[in-house]
Structures are given as structure tokens and as C-alpha cells.
Amino acid sequence: MTTTSRICTMHKERTGWQGAPAIGLVVRNAYFASPEFSDFLESLGITCDIDISNRQSRIFTVQADLDAAKAALAPYFGEMDAKGIATYNGKFGVTK
């Protein structure tokens, strides 16, 4: 999947880890949202990929861990579209 826009997005991808099925949670262009949002992602274990500068990800092998990360991110992303991509809504750090 190639992202060329400056819009922060999140998606899941099927992968494997140590011979077992796993799910990768990928956030692209987080630094366009804010540096604090990138720090928030890192606090969830979603870290920068070494070889792709605009991509942060984490591999989940336990469904409960994936669900917890998705729940923490849910307030900041809309629903996933038909391609499985959710777009950042700009609400990180906004207080009501």
C-alpha cells in the first residue's frame, strides 16, 4: 500500500510473527498530525519503521492487545472505509 498524501491514516494488515499468524497495525504520516501524536503512538508500542520514514507500526499476536490499542486510537480516527483505511480526525489534544 502506498500513501502519497499528507493525511494521517491507520490500517491493519495480515502478517506473521515467529511462524504464527499476526496482525500489523500501521499508522502513516502521524507526524503531520502533531509531534505529540507520534509520542502517543510510541506509548502504545507503535514505533517508527526503520526503512519507511512515514510509517509507524506494531505487530500484534494477541487479539486482546490489538483490541486495546484500537480502543485507545478510536477517538482519533474515523471508521475504516471499504479499503480498510481510517483517517485521522484532528482531535488529538483537543479538549471539550
**pLDDT tens readout for residues 49-74:** 888 878 999 999 999 999 999 999 99
Domain assignment of residue 95, yes or no: no
Residue 30 is part of which domain span?
9-84
**AA letter at 32:** F
Residue 67 lies in a domain: yes
pTM recorded for the entire structure? 0.82
In this structure, what C-alpha cell is assigned to residue 70? Answer: 484500537
pLDDT value at residue 3: 44
| Count of structural domains, the chain | 1
Q: CA-to-CA distance for 38 and 29, rounded, in angstroms?
A: 9
In a domain, 94, yes or no: no
